[in-house]
A and B are shown apart, each in its own frame.
Chain A
């Protein structure tokens, strides 16, 4: 067991930081920092293009698709540095982390040729069409239908709380091809297909992040199906295993906590109450960091990642929550025009326990699979 970074890992992190200081405008966070605004989406395409040109967009992808087969540590160090910088890749982090690799595994040659190169060049945005009004955590109850009509699938239904849908080129869509849990399939849906209506949902987390997507008899050619009919759970499990570590939210949370503490120190306000809470929050961030590292390490050694990934995710949720609470209590002016970066972080922090599966679902997984507590009756 070794807690030191090796020289290659250090060099990689330094290269990312050098790139960020050269290519991220100093005021970018004040201009474009935010989940999915028009400005941020446009910025992410320029920025990811530059990342791609220097080999920092998809280093962990196979050489065939523009990567260099870098290990899971490289992917995570990259994610950590990007998130700490406010995630200038915007929604493209999803392409890099799991959509691209999932297509590599399940896509046809034609699907791969069509969709993977634009991701590797950093010029395309995807959204994930999972949640529905009646299917949030209980995804298996989704109702959007995909009915086969000759060589076409006709898709009818509604998706909701869809991030990036307003600016996405393609949707990774789950729809029902038959009844039951095994009747769900994955479709690759170009968002300019006729019959799609996207409506922005006003949200706490900022302009343009979440949407409703209405699908009114959208006609898709049969080759838009990913894998085979009913394969959605298997594909989702793969996608999930690629995304198990989750977003390294602790990285930005730590940075924002330090920023808030610096504000307090400058104003002579870093007194006893703030010191106590800052210590608790800082320790929680560090715990989340090493929890996450332990998952990356398992993947690096080719081990199966189990429920400890849910524990890591929950540790991150707790850390994000503590930092948010610290800012609200000790730097309240940041929520009223005082500090745009703390404000943007606070807006997004609410997402931590909700997106990518509610935190309570993670707790259930920890209880059943890690603690081996008896299952709840259904």
Chain B
């Protein structure tokens, strides 16, 4: 057990951080939900960052650190699935990946070269033609899309499907970790600057305690996400996704409450993180789904 970064991890984290710094601010004229970072995606492609998990010195743990850092940006791109899940798909499947569950609109589907379709216990992979997918307008801050019709897809065997679920959970937790940190930081900034009753809101204990609890929860999500990426254990992945969804449920509400009326606007960037978290809350069956996975992998329950 040693939490110091190796020199390779350090180098990657610092390179990603340097790259990310150029995308830190929300364009003032943008008042939508999904701020798509095309330039960010191009730079990540150019730097071959989507394949860092395949580099033996880096692996999924370093990839999770990159996912977490990039999720803190106001803009979004299909990063987590490519970095954490794609290396574990059977065979070579082109990125970007899109995710569809139960036929509902899913993240990144409209631009996906590979779609992961989950239906009950079955997991299938497909490479849709452009005409087979379409974007969907959504309140969620990811580009959401759906299939126009059924696809020719490849079913995965049980073991492969379980592996997809596991790495989806890791990807979800790592992404949520970054989103939660950014959302908390955004609310903290507001509480520090905004004055009411003649003093900064952040001096009121009722708000301080709630934010401190949010910060503790977000920190826990980060540790479990990193651990799950490192161990590649089914139970660890289930716990990480469980804690991510449970904590996000609480934090998303609280940070908007902290911003009050400002938190209802599309001028403030908070929703760019929280409305991505809302998309993650529903994935893989939500908390109930993760709880079933925890029961199976950690408590040995057959249910």
Contacts of B160-186 to chain A: CB distance below 8 A: 184
Q: Are B202 and A291 in contact (CB under 8 A)?
A: no
Contacts of B193-229 to chain A: CB distance below 8 A: 199-200, 202-205, 208-209, 211-213, 215-217, 219-221, 223-224, 226-227
- A363's contact among B1, B5, B200, B212, by CB below 8 Å, is which? B212
Q: Are A282 and B294 in contact (CB under 8 A)?
A: yes
The answer to the question of B303 belonging to the interface, with a C-beta cut-off of 8 Å to chain A, is yes
In the complex, residue of chain B having the shortest beta-carbon distance to the beta carbon of A261 = B299
The answer to the question of B107 belonging to the interface, with a C-beta cut-off of 8 Å to chain A, is no
Q: Are A275 and B303 in contact (CB under 8 A)?
A: yes
Q: Are A373 and B219 in contact (CB under 8 A)?
A: no
The answer to the question of B90 belonging to the interface, with a C-beta cut-off of 8 Å to chain A, is no
Q: Are B299 and A371 in contact (CB under 8 A)?
A: no
Inside 8 A of B299's CB, which chain A residues have their CB? Answer: 258, 261, 265, 270, 278, 282
The answer to the question of A356 belonging to the interface, with a C-beta cut-off of 8 Å to chain B, is no
Inside 8 A of A9's CB, which chain B residues have their CB? Answer: 1
The answer to the question of B253 belonging to the interface, with a C-beta cut-off of 8 Å to chain A, is no
The answer to the question of A294 belonging to the interface, with a C-beta cut-off of 8 Å to chain B, is yes
The answer to the question of A152 belonging to the interface, with a C-beta cut-off of 8 Å to chain B, is no
Cα separation A301 to B4 with both chains bound (whole Å)? 8
Majority secondary structure, A binding face: helix
How many chain A residues touch B (CB < 8 A): the figure is 52
Take A291-B223, A311-B215, A375-B203 as given contacts and tell me if A278 and B243 are in contact as well, using a CB distance cutoff of 8 Å.
no
Q: Are B220 and A291 in contact (CB under 8 A)?
A: yes
Name the distance in Å between A159's Cβ and chain B's nearest Cβ: 28
- B216's contact among A275, A314, A376, by CB below 8 Å, is which? A314
Take A279-B287, A284-B243, A370-B215 as given contacts and tell me if A1 and B4 are in contact as well, using a CB distance cutoff of 8 Å.
yes
Name the distance in Å between A81's Cβ and chain B's nearest Cβ: 15
Take A314-B212, A367-B212 as given contacts and tell me if A3 and B227 are in contact as well, using a CB distance cutoff of 8 Å.
yes
Majority secondary structure, B binding face: helix
Name the distance in Å between B157's Cβ and chain A's nearest Cβ: 26
* Cβ contacts B274-303/A at 8 Å (1 or 0 each): 000000000000011011111100110101
In the complex, residue of chain A having the shortest beta-carbon distance to the beta carbon of B65 = A1
Name the distance in Å between A60's Cβ and chain B's nearest Cβ: 16
**Which residues from chain B sit less than 8 Å from chain A, CB to CB?**
1-6, 9, 61, 184, 188, 191-192, 199-200, 202-205, 208-209, 211-213, 215-217, 219-221, 223-224, 226-227, 230-231, 236, 238-240, 242-243, 246, 287-288, 290-295, 298-299, 301, 303
28 contacts between A and B (CB under 8 A): A1-B5, A2-B1, A3-B226, A4-B1, A5-B1, A6-B2, A73-B1, A261-B299, A261-B301, A265-B299, A270-B295, A275-B295, A276-B288, A277-B291, A278-B294, A278-B295, A279-B242, A282-B298, A284-B243, A286-B224, A297-B4, A314-B212, A314-B216, A366-B215, A367-B202, A372-B188, A373-B200, A373-B202
**Which residues from chain A sit less than 8 Å from chain B, CB to CB?**
1-6, 9, 73, 258, 261, 265, 270, 272, 275-280, 282-284, 286-288, 290-291, 293-294, 297, 300-301, 308, 311, 314-315, 318, 360, 362-364, 366-368, 370-377
Known: A261-B301, A279-B294, A371-B215. 11 other contacts (CB 8 A): A270-B301, A275-B291, A279-B239, A283-B243, A287-B224, A293-B1, A294-B223, A363-B213, A364-B205, A374-B203, A376-B205
